[in-house]
Structure 1
């Protein structure tokens, strides 16, 4: 059965693959991106053509309330309703944490945490009114694990995890489901969206670790140089599976990480047990997964 799906951050990477994968399976996708008549004009045109009539590219800046509200309203006007929202838009601010300015950190959270919140505030009223729907939050394995020079990005994903889980509990009575997808490291254009801390001169006081960003980059290059490089299509396929799953069968979290997935899965399992006991002790055990 064809569904109406709203996907953010679709000009490249996971968002583009998710959009095309859903469209090829017959779903109608409202694919958002910024600057569709300028910088992303080629990406918007390519996505529209590849979607063969099932992809509608919509202008949206995840950091702007009015832009988000307009994009969701446009999708609702064209489709009548939304069955699924996929919050995928995001980027990573890298660097020794001291090199990140207050503005660097605020923007990281604005895009990766407040952005998805804006989208849900715009989309959920219509979904709740219908008593059904699905929200897919694209988080990261770094919403569970911690690496140096990725503290800003990782902490934004930790925040998204907490916000999303609270949403999942609160939405249970409405019929709207929410699942968090935790991708590991994949070779996508995401690397082109990296931002380095605005005060790199502070790194000089860290001795050999001043080049930590470069060290991390080489680690990822090595990770993706072998014969078993993970395909980002795995993430799109995981989202498709969630979209087409029957209501009530979707898990709280899905790890998509062929390289290091066991670590996040172990933490998810332990977390679920702790939450189960915590919620039960507060008289809300029915919310636990």
Structure 2
């Protein structure tokens, strides 16, 4: 199982993961919205390292179908799919327009669904595959000013819970990766509110999100272990594990939040197994440790 497709390969998690996989002997293809512009240098570096690049917009079904098919063709197959493409958002929740919320969900939730619908016929036909997903620690809890982003990742987690069970009988294992905040270009492309009139109604509190974000940036700067390379290491470690014995959720965090999320995940794991056991379908969980 050495043929990997990574969506959002030029992003903060995608690039180091791709380079690590290539160094480990994997065949890697990845998607970018455009090869030119801000991605040009990264695309050139990835191609020089051996990656195959396809242009694909996960918010468009035709583009996604074409991009996944192109990646499978260039790889000569597909064993591992890493749903990594995503977008962030930040700001007081009331100020976020429904259109902005819809855009975040279109990338982080429906985008994953489009990719899965394009890739799964191939994986089901061969009777084996591994699907990884980039979620977030705040896909498990919600923190102020990240309401829209958290909601999209909570939705992703629910969808993947279902994919985990529904695909197990086809030999397709599922793994969620839950990073803490990392210093990546994610913060440069955040969807933020543009409702100045409502923002004014919040008075002094309207300045709090910016102060909070600055504090987070300082914390990340002071925590050198909290870097995107940790995601690459996690992906490699997961893929090195025997098929069917990988954990369903893996927390990646070095700022102290991770242990609490892991505790939460352990409880949910037990609750989920108990509920499915009571319904007589616990075997649908068997493709994860």
Determine if the TM-score, normalized by the shorter chain, exceeds 0.5.
yes
* Residue in structure 2 matching 1:238, options 234, 239, 253: 234
- Contact 1:4/1:27 (CA < 8 Å) preserved in 2? yes
* Residue in structure 2 matching 1:270, options 267, 270, 279: 267
Question: Counterpart in 1 of 2:36?
Answer: 37
Q: Distance in 1 between matches of 2:172 and 2:283?
A: 16
Q: Are residues 1:142 and 2:128 paired?
A: no
Q: Are residues 1:81 and 2:80 paired?
A: no
- Contact 1:81/1:127 (CA < 8 Å) preserved in 2? no
Per the TM alignment, residue 227 of structure 1 is displaced from its structure 2 partner at its CA by 5.3
Question: Counterpart in 1 of 2:21?
Answer: 22
Q: Distance in 2 between matches of 1:227 and 1:252?
A: 27
Q: Distance in 2 between matches of 1:16 and 1:141?
A: 21
Per the TM alignment, residue 148 of structure 1 is displaced from its structure 2 partner at its CA by 0.9
SS in 2 for 1:196: coil
Question: Counterpart in 2 of 1:48?
Answer: 47
- Contact 1:168/1:178 (CA < 8 Å) preserved in 2? yes
Task: Give a deviation string over 1:199-239, Cα, whole Å, max 9, x none.
Answer: 14312222332123202212212212325442221111101
Q: Distance in 1 between matches of 2:223 and 2:240?
A: 31
Q: Are residues 1:68 and 2:67 paired?
A: no
- Contact 2:225/2:254 (CA < 8 Å) preserved in 1? no
TM-score, normalised to structure 2, is 0.94
Give runs of aligned pairs for residues 199-210 of structure 1, distance below 5 A. 199-210=195-206
Question: Counterpart in 2 of 1:255?
Answer: 251
Q: Which is worse superposed, 212-221 or 111-120?
A: 212-221
Per the TM alignment, residue 287 of structure 1 is displaced from its structure 2 partner at its CA by 2.4
TM-score, normalised to structure 1, is 0.94
- Contact 2:15/2:46 (CA < 8 Å) preserved in 1? yes
Question: Counterpart in 2 of 1:5?
Answer: 4
RMSD: 1.4
Q: Which runs of 5+ in 2 are unaligned?
A: none
SS in 1 for 2:89: strand
**What number of residue pairs does the alignment pair up?**
285
Q: Distance in 2 between matches of 1:200 and 1:247?
A: 51
Question: Counterpart in 2 of 1:215?
Answer: 211
- Contact 1:104/1:198 (CA < 8 Å) preserved in 2? no
Q: Are residues 1:111 and 2:107 paired?
A: yes
Q: Are residues 1:187 and 2:186 paired?
A: no
* Residue in structure 1 matching 2:281, options 269, 273, 284: 284
SS in 1 for 2:86: coil
